Amino acid sequence: MSKSRVIVLDEFIIQKEKGFPNATGQLASLLRDIGIAAKIIHREVNKAGLVDILGETGNNNVHGEAVKKLDMYANEQLISYLSAGSQCAGIASEENEDALIFTDQISKKGKYVVLFDPLDGSSNIDVNVSIGTIFSIYKRESGDGTANLQDFLQKGTEQVAAGYIIYGSSTMLVYTTGYEVNGFTLDPSIGEFCLSHPHIQIPNTGTTYSVNQGYYEKFPTGLKRYIKWVQEVDTATSRPYSQRYIGSMVADVHRTLIKGGVFMYPATISDPKGKLRLMYECNPLSFIIEQAGGKSVDCKGNRIMDIEPTELHQRTPIYMGSPEMVEKIEHFMAEKEVTAG
């Protein structure tokens, strides 16, 4: 029996581009550059315990968080590959305070800017738990001149592509250009990302919820009520639900995307604006979740991708995943608390 032919990432991107008569090839080239950087990062992640790349650099990033050595390595690799091509006019990274605008004669004419979190979940690096890279691509608004800050501060609805790479038991690249979501698994024997999860669709509902429940006492009242509800026994709705929380957004959202469920990172008493970054984490992963049939909102039920950004490192609460589950959370969050008369 003959096996079906393997479709690699580069071939898939080219095939999809043929469906757009006005495509120039720049976006396809940009996605391939990100794929190459991901392979390099994968190589270092897989040998992290064997070389001097574990632990912290001794520096803090713009958010005041300790920078891991592998964080910095991933950041440098992405910048290196994106700056070498002619498609990208500038990048913004979660690790850098300001956007990096490319000023050479070739790159400054690039049509796109890229925002990324080079290594999401980096606190898990030293304990060998899944981590990932998240990226978001926008078509710049500044024309043919040098890019500027406003090219980066666009709403999530303006993304032309977004994706993530998860470095786990296998390394996967999942991305969308606004028409469907496809997943590719890295085959180390040939060094290629191969199509393994075509046209991913998130289940309408699920039986798992993902939240750091250690902060329960700091959660909004509506979320506390929802968590009590999911813990109740009700066979008609498959409750109680199971809690699953890895502490790496890429890993938690990837599981939610494939198996259904809901991922939550709410505002808390200590972080009233939320903790996750709108531009580097929430917008790109919301784009993927929505294109797979899911839903992503903030604590007031506003669509994440409709939020108007005002700064590169803006934060937001987020509830995302299977649409029926997100809508149930919205109901609890909107419900006014009943008090004794």
Find the mean pLDDT for residues 167-195.
95
Do 288 and 145 lie in one domain? The reply is no
- CATH number, domain containing residue 276: 3.40.190.80
- CATH number, domain containing residue 41: 3.30.540.10
Do 123 and 145 lie in one domain? The reply is yes
pLDDT band of 196, cuts 50, 70, 90? very high
Taking the C-alpha atoms of residue 202 and residue 295, their distance in angstroms, rounded to an integer, is 10
pLDDT band of 26, cuts 50, 70, 90? confident
pLDDT at 45: 82
Do 36 and 151 lie in one domain? The reply is yes
Number of domains observed in the structure of the chain = 2
**38 found inside a domain:** yes
pLDDT at 54: 47
- 12-26, 89-103, 158-172, 224-238 — which is least confidently predicted? 12-26
**136 found inside a domain:** yes
C-alpha to C-alpha distances, 175 to 38, 40, 104, 178, 307, nearest whole angstrom = 13, 18, 29, 9, 21
* Residue 285 near residue 120 (C-beta atoms within 8 A): no
pLDDT band of 105, cuts 50, 70, 90? confident
- 18-32, 223-237, 312-326 — which is least confidently predicted? 18-32
Of 169, 197, 225, at which residue does a domain stop? Answer: 197
Of residues 48 and 54, the one with the higher pLDDT is 48
In percent, how much of the chain has pLDDT > 70?
90
Do 193 and 222 lie in one domain? The reply is no
**339 found inside a domain:** no
Highest mean pLDDT: which range of 7-21, 71-85, 199-213:
199-213
Pairing between strand 208-210 and 171-176? unpaired
pLDDT at 15: 87
CA angle 327, 249, 201 (to 5 degrees): 55
**202 found inside a domain:** no
In percent, how much of the chain has pLDDT > 90?
73
**4 found inside a domain:** no
**341 found inside a domain:** no
Q: State how far Cα 236 lies from the chain centre.
A: 33
In 3D space, the residue among 35, 253, 228, 217 whose CA is nearest the CA of residue 135 turns out to be 35
Do 193 and 238 lie in one domain? The reply is no
Do 163 and 94 lie in one domain? The reply is yes
Taking the C-alpha atoms of residue 319 and residue 111, their distance in angstroms, rounded to an integer, is 32
Of 197, 216, 232, at which residue does a domain stop? Answer: 197
For 130-195, the DSSP string reads -EEEEEEEEE-SSTTS---HHHH---GGGEEEEEEEEESSSEEEEEESSS-EEEEEEETTTTEEEE
**99 found inside a domain:** yes
Question: In the numeric block, which tokens belong to residue 101?
Answer: 């605008």
Do 160 and 48 lie in one domain? The reply is yes
Q: Across the strands, what pairs with 100? A: 91
Find the mean pLDDT for residues 100-112.
90
pLDDT at 341: 36
Question: pTM to 2 decimals?
Answer: 0.92
pLDDT band of 65, cuts 50, 70, 90? low
Range of the domain at 297: 208-334
> What burial letters (b/e) apply to 104-124, b meaning 16+ CB within 10 Å?
eeebbbbbbbbbbbbbbbbeb
Edge-to-edge, what's the strand order for the sheet holding 208-210?
A: 242-243, 208-210, 262-265, 318-321, 295-297
Taking the C-alpha atoms of residue 54 and residue 155, their distance in angstroms, rounded to an integer, is 35
Find the mean pLDDT for residues 8-25.
79
pLDDT at 2: 45
Do 227 and 160 lie in one domain? The reply is no
Question: In the numeric block, which tokens belong to residue 66?
Answer: 């300790």
**3 found inside a domain:** no
pLDDT in tens, 125-146: 777 789 999 999 999 998 778 9
Do 134 and 17 lie in one domain? The reply is yes
Do 182 and 215 lie in one domain? The reply is no
pLDDT at 61: 52
Average pLDDT, the chain: 89
Do 176 and 230 lie in one domain? The reply is no
Taking the C-alpha atoms of residue 263 and residue 159, their distance in angstroms, rounded to an integer, is 22
pLDDT at 125: 74
Do 192 and 213 lie in one domain? The reply is no
pLDDT at 3: 61
